[in-house]
Amino acid sequence: MSESTETITELLQSIGIDTAYRTASLSLLEKGDSRYLRDLKLNFTSTLTSEHLSTKECALLGLSVAVNNNNNPLIAFYTKYATEQGANDAEIAEAAACASLLASNNIFYRFRHFTQKEKYSQIPARIRMQIMMKPVTGKEFFELMSLTISAVNGCEMCVNAHEDSLIKLNTTEERIFDAIRIASLVTSAGAIIN
């Protein structure tokens, strides 16, 4: 077994996927004996823990990003991991709901930002957002999930608004930075494992 195949096997085992599983992207890395496979494995592993987030929070952030990216293997992994870290069904559902809500918000507010027309800012959004009022994961963590999804989706206006809310909620910049780091690495893994 080549070193690349061995690294892929370890990565797939850690995600709970059959070691014979291959995507076109994963096959390209394996065929080219890419050194990146080791980085991919280590980066993915680093999404599971943080100095500034609990393991349950890491799992819920990973789940929310996997739902946002419509990545079924990672949704299954992070759902299981979140449960193992003490997340209940309502918290897991909220991570998925946050991804869905922010998908609409990011498109809507990004459009307003791109056009910069006052008229569009005056027309009511008519997007239901009741989940933001009393989230089961708490206001601060829901804002953190919202920020990560907004960053993944590239909505500058939303990123700035959620980061500002988090600072006002006394969230440390290190905590915010770690959440974004995790989101970027879940997205990176999902580009190869999908």
Catalytic pick from 155, 159, 166, 192? 155
C-alpha–C-alpha distance, residues 16 and 76, integer Å: 9
- The DSSP code sequence of 82-98 is HHHTT--HHHHHHHHHH
58 is catalytic: no
Contacts of 71 (CB under 8 A, 6+ apart): 190, 193, 194
Residues 113, 60: Cα–Cα separation, whole Å: 29
CA dist 102 and 26 (Å) reads 29
158 catalytic? Reply is yes
Pick the catalytic residue from 74, 158, 182, 186. 158
Cβ-in-10-Å burial (0-12, 13-18, 19+) of 143 comes to buried
**Any idea which residues carry the catalytic annotation?**
155, 158
